Amino acid sequence: MEEDDARANVEKDDVDIFDPRNWRLLSPNMINKLVEQGPKQNSTIKNGPREKYGRRFNNSVFTRILPNIETCDREWLVYSQELDKLFCFCCKLFRKGVPKGGLDSEGFCDWQHVHRSVKQHESSSEHMRCMNTWVEMRQRLKENETIDKVAYGLIEMLEEFDPIVKEHVRRIMNDELNVHYLGHSIQDELIDLLAKKIQLEIIKKIKRAKYYSIILDCTPDISHDEQMTIIVRYVDFDSKIVKVEESFLGFLVVDDTSGKGLFDVTLDELDRLGLDVDDMRGQGYDNGSNMKGKHQGVQRRFLDINPRAFYTPCGCHSLNLILCDMGNTCDKSIEFFGVIQRLYTLFSRSVNRWDIMRQHVKGLTLKPLCTTRWESRVDSVKPIKLYLPDVREALLEVEATDKDTLIQSEAKSLAVNMVSDFEFLVALVIWYEVLSTVNVLSKKLQSEDMVLDVAIQEVNKLIEFFKEYREVGLAKAIDEAKIVASKMGVDPVFPQRRIIRKKKQFDDTSTEPEVLFSPEEDFKVNYFLYIVDQALASIERRFEQYQQYEKLFGFLFPKRLRQLEESLLKSHCHALEDALKYEGKADIDGDELFQELKLFERFLPSRIISPIDALQNLKEGGGVFPNAMIAYRVLLTIPVTVALAERSFSKLKLLKSYLRSTMS
């Protein structure tokens, strides 16, 4: 830092560039100037002042005597009259590494051994390298061929067509501009400054909103560091139109991924950002045990210090787990998805087989099963469901043309025993319908402005879908499967399976008759109803938290508000007051909220159907109902999914690729 300040002073002040004392502080431009003009040797000074032993500098040292008695000038040697020392011009300017002392650093003044030392120095390899650098640079400067010439030429070309560049060059030429921001680290510094400024503005908006929720998620990056993204959700109440915002605040590298470790890192980051934990009104995480754990998870630890930080599991993750429960609930569903994966594996592991598949299946390609995102499995099922006859033809062609007997056997097994099975056709129709429906809901929940009441409505619609599908879904699936079966020449009946009877033990005295089902009834009872009932049970269990919040906040939904009796409305207001009260501090007054909502409901336009519309209407009313506004702000602050956190990981993978895996 001190050297940078000294260099700045050298460039600023009128300093003698020929003085060896200033050479280590010169800028590249001043070094170019010095090399062009050459060193000032002071060779006309015959003798210097005597030292205490009577010895002194003599200019004979500037002349080198060659073995053949001829002489040559040591043009690299410079005498400083002010310091009474000798310096090596090229080594002083271009040396690398640690100086050895003397001619290449602080100067030489041992006049007794001067000739011997100078001779040793000029024959050293480091001196030869510096001499070569000096000579080459002097030649390039003479011919105007320095390494910067191409860049200067480009700038001169841009100057002709860009008035901004032209003005910039003019200011440089007239010494009106000294800072160019062209250093190797300036880009990172500018990005860091921009990031801090943006983060500061986001923090200001959050503090103005007061109430906020945090959304956290973790993923390992390409360097195998665990990265935790932190998202904050809040209601932007200052803008003309009320908006629910979800803002990305950054990535945090975490070493301890336990509930306590993630809690401590998050708490420290919130403190650094100046966000009061007491103002937190929501938490949104995935369904990992370290996040949602009832006793040691992150959500539990935040609830211990702030019971008003309501936790909601990610809706999309919950849907994914519901499908996972359905897919793993019975052997037949596991076998079904195994066939889907086998089809992809067979075609994808050979270019020739993939070409055969593309010739038969136009427009869509087979996709592998995703082991984590079950709702995306609709993309794997879709091409098979829409083009099953063509897929079977492709399998038969592979069987006929492939030279590998194992591939022939696999293709025949899939074509004849699997995709030509009527039970598989019915299952294909069922799973496509279920996956498509859940996938649509998953996409809706991933919206940034998704709020709790809409999420609850959509989940209730999904429950109604499964209840209705339980009654009529199988019949519709069989009818649709029969149409496909007729195109493929498949007998549209469920195959008769061999009945496996359990052998009775000697002490088994049960007399209940064994229940035997027809193949269709067996499919309905042990497959269809099995997965549908599992779906209904999983939805109720995994969205239980949503139902609890509906009981607490549901009376604020405009449709419910219009229908509630005063006694129920009053009890709901007091319940919400209790939920938003902690250690003597309350967000709202229940009695005042009751009076405000009674009046608000009378003047509530029929077009207002959502909480955010209700809050917008309250804002336009000029703050007449402050408790109602606070209640709606808290409701809208509660997160529904962690979709934005997942999106931030997508950007992280683009930024920190394997090419940047070792960068900080």
Q: Is the pLDDT of residue 164 over 90?
A: no
- Comparing CA positions, the residue from 438, 633, 664, 631 lying closest to residue 542 is 438
Helix, strand or coil for residue 236?
A: strand
Distance CA 389, CA 649 (A): 39
Please give the structure tokens belonging to residue 396: 């038969």
The two structure tokens encoding residue 8: 């700045």
- For 89, the token pair is 């011009």
Model confidence pLDDT, tens digit, residues 535-594: 899 888 888 888 888 888 889 998 888 888 889 999 999 999 999 998 888 888 989 999
Share of the chain above pLDDT 90, in %: 21
Query: Which positions ≥6 away from 316 have C-beta within 8 Å?
Result: 375, 442, 445, 446, 641, 642, 643
Report whether 31 contacts 10 (CB < 8 A).
no
- Write the DSSP assignment of 588-621 as a string of letters: --HHHHHHHHHHHHHT--TT--SHHHHHHHHHHT
In this structure, what DSSP letter does residue 353 have?
H
Mean pLDDT calculated for residue range 402-414: 91
CB 570 within 8 A of CB 557: no
Per-residue pLDDT at 13 = 47
CA of 483: how far to CAs of 163, 384, 488, in Å? 71, 15, 9
At residue 393, the pLDDT reads 92
Is residue 657 within 8 A of residue 575, CB to CB? The reply is no
How far is Cα 350 from Cα 90, in angstroms, rounded to an integer? 65
Angle between helices 405-412 and 331-348 (to 10 degrees): 140
Residue 289 confidence (pLDDT): 82
* Measured CA distances, 423 to 326, 328, 523 (Å): 18, 18, 8
Listed residue (611, 362, 319) closest to 466, CA to CA: 319
Spatial distance between the Cα atoms of 633 and 607, rounded to a whole number of angstroms: 20
Q: How many CA atoms lie within 13 A of 507 on its CB side?
A: 0
Q: Can you give the pLDDT at residue 662?
A: 67
Residue recorded with tokens 């600023």: 12
Average pLDDT over residues 418-440: 90
**Taking residues 108-127, what's their average pLDDT?**
88
Provide DSSP, 453-484.
Answer: HHHHHHHHHHHHHHHHHHHHHHHHHHHHHHHH
Percent of the chain with pLDDT over 70: 89
pLDDT digits (tens, 9 = 90+) for 311-368: 888 888 888 888 888 888 888 888 988 998 999 999 999 999 999 999 998 877 888 8
Highest mean pLDDT range out of 101-115, 172-186, 371-385, 567-581?
567-581
Residue 229 DSSP SS3: strand
**What's the pTM value of the predicted model, to 2 decimals?**
0.68
- Higher-confidence residue of 368 and 471: namely 471
Give the three-class secondary structure for 436. Answer: helix
User: Is residue 512 predicted with pLDDT exceeding 90?
Assistant: no
Mean pLDDT of 14-19: 68
What gap in Å lies between CA 439 and CA 262, rounded to an integer? 31
The answer for residues whose C-beta is within 8 angstroms of residue 199's C-beta and 6 or more apart is 249, 250, 273
pLDDT at 197: 93
Q: Output the average pLDDT for the chain.
A: 84
Beta strands in 40-148 (DSSP E): 63-65, 71-73, 77-80, 85-88
State the Cα–Cα distance between residues 315 and 643, nearest whole angstrom.
9
Q: What is the mean pLDDT of residues 237-262?
A: 88
